[in-house]
Structure 1
């Protein structure tokens, strides 16, 4: 009994000491590690590519500060911080793909939620005084092959870490240019500029030297073929083209006589409203008596939507919108939820306005932003929209946003004639791309020897054939013809309906004076 009385207090004291050693830090007062996750940005997007980080580890951020810029299949989106704190880790590097719901970075702050699971695991795995945990030796892992991004994708990072060039001297423009060319600035530094700053000429010289080296390797024949990875936009195009095979296409080709439009174009160009023109040097405009009661307000136009050159495209789109208003079928689309594989009764949804998608070939891939309610826009307004969307699409990375694609379109236009001398094409419809698509070829002057041109003008045809050279002399007439190629969803559009719709469009294009009579 005496022995038990002596040992018992020591045993209790030992247990108290052991327990006291388990909690020596105020856990509740420690900073929390918040995991910033990629949220659902809408339009059915399941993954995005991180194209630019605005922060680095150890950067201090506040709420609504820019963290990074991600790009989906359709547009780029800037993501801001929901927390105040310090960035401790970047979980996804530039050029890598992140799934929706996956973590992008870790922010250490005083938040109450979102404690990092790693910290919880560390607490669970804390060693006890009774038994020390011996960490197992990690097995040797087989190195995985590193995927290389597509070299044609300007948004792809260089082969070296993108954080290395932060220690080099270069202007933002040179950094962007080097990134588009896939050049690591650390391989060029120091540059030829002041204090070793890298200039664009340094990047060009480096690219020239690389091309010479590649040519020598090709001549030697010792270099193995290079396997590259498709960029985000090209991968999306791959999937869309595979789905397009489920749509039965009906094709239709013809030519439009745009001679009258060609003669009208200089008049339209000479009278472009001032608010659509680029900023001119300030000068006192001539006094107008009509402004005695106040100068009418002009609409606010985005600087990228200003222009000095007017083409046929906005007029063709305007004429197309007028034809769509006469043919509701081409303002319709398959009602969501009634697709062929849904089992529901097939229905179409007719829109009140003409929504037209414009295909854009950009450095980062193919996009199709939407010109909403084109029937309510003037030719000058459509030209401004085309210039604005083109400038956003040509930016690297592309500056097109979800708002530029919202709602989709029922008809698409591809102006392939602006690139080469192609005459006819076979445009492809993709699910969600509308019921029809038209490819515009390259306009060419031809000698028209049709019956109407051969016989010359007859009474009442003066407006139809203005300035027909050689008409009535047995030689035909010189006309400007525009080839167009159509594809329509044959599940919705009949062949006769497409042909009649194109003829309706022809009536607006070949007789631009109708716009005056219609007041549009």
Structure 2
């Protein structure tokens, strides 16, 4: 056996270190190339680190919660000597060097993932090989549809579905006269008798999409992920989230839990005392947010400009377009209109779409419009970036915002999808409230906060009447932007929101 050490690669553009959030393996575990061994938090994203070897985990060199510099050894594997020569011949040095990104490393692994088989060479990336193992598919029997016969995940699923259909046909024809056909047993992995019996009928599907963390939770709770009900889809396939798995498991456990709960309730009520203090780890996304907010607040002198837009016409326009959007499967929100109005304002006042480069002593005006949308998630605030907003229509923007927000909440968003922003919008009004003093997403120079859209009293020709209004809170870096420019920009945004038909021009 040979011991191979694996160093932490660059898990994001320009990132020098990452926090090891969780280990997915333990010493003694057997892993295959492509299996996820750890999760690393950086730049507001959770990145999965795949194994580069087939072997056995020998030692873990970092604890969960540790900050690990790029290039440090994080794990070692015992690899069979017989495999070492083949690996050296087929793959480049896989220990990783500082500056190599996870995406680059994955590409190298995919290009080298060709194994000698009796039928010849099989080209398949680690993700396809892992999926084949999960579905019980012999990778050598899968017909690849990619360039040069490369096998994709879709090829593996198609082969598995074809094989299952063949098995079902064979089983039906094998029933002899006089025998009754018994319903087939579920083919999902690890479902317990309690879950199968108590949680309702099994979902009618053979393929279920879910992120690795969701699959790990299902396995931990003994839940058949194919049996978890869901109305969510992705690429036409059922998509299950962690919340779905937990709800499914809780429904299955309710009968047993209720039986014991009443017996213990009296004793616990008499003895339990609430803790005076509790601690929550300050790490991961929460710490990243804290550090970035402190950098912004202590670097850029903030000034906040408040105003209110009257948007009765916007409310009517959105209501008229909602039906058309729904026919296309898109949920049209006010955010799409705000994005277009903001870009219109930035084009008139480009100083707000800028960055101060103190080292070179210049202000960089951005002639492109990549707008960040702050999204509240269970792990903290994330800011996906909608690129080239000026080149996209309302429905396209609404669809992209929804997709990015969903990926952020599911922790499946990539670091690249949260980089390159030039201006940020934060919608605190979704949780109530009118005005705030948002902190700039440094090194940007401005951020726009949106309050709750409500009917409020306004004065028109001396008469007080109710109108839909949208409170606006614009924070600026006062080193770069003057108050007058902030006010003019806000007035422009208000104008386009008050008369949304101008956005079509």
Please tell me the TM-score bracket, short chain as reference: 0.5 to 0.7
Distance in structure 2 (CA, Å) of the matches to 1:400 and 1:350: 28
> Aligned residue for 2:306?
253
Out of 426, 429, 434, the position equivalent to 2:437 is: 426
Distance 1:178 1:385, change over 3 A: closer
Tell me, yes or no, if the aligned pair for 2:218 and 2:224 is still in contact at 8 Å.
no
Query: Residue 399 in 1 paired to residue 452 in 2?
Result: no
Out of 407, 426, 449, the position equivalent to 2:459 is: 449
Max Rg structure? 1
> Aligned residue for 1:485?
473
Tell me, yes or no, if the aligned pair for 2:337 and 2:500 is still in contact at 8 Å.
no
In structure 2, stretches of 5+ residues that fail to align are: 96-212, 229-239
Q: How far apart are residue 236 of structure 1 and its match?
A: 1.6
Q: Which whole-Å deviations, capped at 9, do the CAs of 1:465-487 have from their partners, x for residues lacking one?
A: xxxxxxxxxx4443211111111
Q: How far apart are residue 97 of structure 1 and its match?
A: 4.7
Query: Residue 271 in 1 paired to residue 324 in 2?
Result: yes
Corresponding residue SS for 2:500: coil
Matches within 5 A, 1:21-100: 31-92=1-62, 97-100=67-70
Distance in structure 1 (CA, Å) of the matches to 2:319 and 2:70: 51
Out of 283, 301, 304, the position equivalent to 1:231 is: 283
Distance in structure 2 (CA, Å) of the matches to 1:430 and 1:211: 48
Q: How far apart are residue 497 of structure 1 and its match?
A: 0.7
Matches within 5 A, 1:230-379: 230-243=282-295, 244-272=297-325, 274=327, 276-277=328-329, 307=330, 309-335=331-357, 339=358, 342=359, 344=360, 346-379=361-394
Distance in structure 2 (CA, Å) of the matches to 1:176 and 1:207: 26
Tell me, yes or no, if the aligned pair for 2:384 and 2:405 is still in contact at 8 Å.
no
Q: How far apart are residue 201 of structure 1 and its match?
A: 3.8
Q: How far apart are residue 325 of structure 1 and its match?
A: 2.0
Matched residues, number: 362
Q: How far apart are residue 386 of structure 1 and its match?
A: 1.5
TM-score (norm 2): 0.63
Distance 1:53 1:239, change over 3 A: closer
Distance 1:314 1:114, change over 3 A: closer
Distance 1:86 1:206, change over 3 A: farther
Q: How far apart are residue 46 of structure 1 and its match?
A: 3.8
> Aligned residue for 1:439?
449
> Aligned residue for 2:140?
none
Q: How far apart are residue 430 of structure 1 and its match?
A: 4.3
Distance 1:229 1:319, change over 3 A: same
Distance 1:225 1:33, change over 3 A: same
> Aligned residue for 2:102?
none
Q: How far apart are residue 352 of structure 1 and its match?
A: 2.4
Distance in structure 1 (CA, Å) of the matches to 2:269 and 2:346: 53
Q: How far apart are residue 504 of structure 1 and its match?
A: 1.4
Q: How far apart are residue 178 of structure 1 and its match?
A: 11
> Aligned residue for 2:222?
169
Distance 1:437 1:52, change over 3 A: same
Distance 1:164 1:504, change over 3 A: closer
Distance 1:203 1:107, change over 3 A: farther
Distance 1:492 1:88, change over 3 A: same
Q: Which whole-Å deviations, capped at 9, do the CAs of 1:409-428 have from their partners, x for residues lacking one?
A: 221111111111x1111111
Distance in structure 1 (CA, Å) of the matches to 2:76 and 2:246: 28
Tell me, yes or no, if the aligned pair for 1:392 and 1:400 is still in contact at 8 Å.
yes
In structure 1, stretches of 5+ residues that fail to align are: 1-30, 116-156, 158-162, 182-191, 278-306, 455-474
Task: Choose 249-258 or 70-79, whichever is displaced more.
Answer: 70-79
Distance 1:167 1:391, change over 3 A: closer
Distance in structure 1 (CA, Å) of the matches to 2:292 and 2:368: 26
Tell me, yes or no, if the aligned pair for 1:328 and 1:350 is still in contact at 8 Å.
yes
Distance in structure 2 (CA, Å) of the matches to 1:477 and 1:70: 54
> Aligned residue for 1:104?
74
Task: Choose 81-90 or 364-373, whichever is displaced more.
Answer: 81-90
Q: Which whole-Å deviations, capped at 9, do the CAs of 1:69-106 have from their partners, x for residues lacking one?
A: 32224112222223333333344465655443333321
Tell me, yes or no, if the aligned pair for 1:254 and 1:485 is still in contact at 8 Å.
yes
Tell me, yes or no, if the aligned pair for 1:251 and 1:487 is still in contact at 8 Å.
yes
What root-mean-square deviation, in Å, do the aligned CA atoms of Structure 1 and Structure 2 show?
3.8
Corresponding residue SS for 1:271: helix
Whose strand fraction is larger, Structure 1's or Structure 2's? 2
Q: How far apart are residue 429 of structure 1 and its match?
A: 1.7
Whose helix fraction is larger, Structure 1's or Structure 2's? 2
Out of 389, 396, 412, the position equivalent to 2:424 is: 412
> Aligned residue for 2:135?
none
Tell me, yes or no, if the aligned pair for 1:417 and 1:443 is still in contact at 8 Å.
yes
Query: Residue 511 in 1 paired to residue 499 in 2?
Result: yes
Distance 1:165 1:208, change over 3 A: farther
Q: How far apart are residue 253 of structure 1 and its match?
A: 0.5
Q: Which whole-Å deviations, capped at 9, do the CAs of 1:95-132 have from their partners, x for residues lacking one?
A: 655443333321112447899xxxxxxxxxxxxxxxxx
Distance in structure 2 (CA, Å) of the matches to 1:84 and 1:514: 60
Distance in structure 2 (CA, Å) of the matches to 1:92 and 1:166: 25
Distance in structure 1 (CA, Å) of the matches to 2:217 and 2:498: 59
